Amino acid sequence: MFKKLTQFWSAIRQLSGDDAYERYLQHHAEHHVETPPLTREAFFKQWQDGKWKGVKRCC
Q: pLDDT 10s per residue in the chain (59 long)?
A: 889 999 999 899 888 888 999 999 999 999 999 999 999 999 999 988 888 887 767 76
pLDDT at 57: 72
pLDDT at 42: 97
pTM for the whole structure: 0.71
Exposed/middle/buried for residue 29 (C-beta within 10 Å: 0-12, 13-18, 19+): exposed
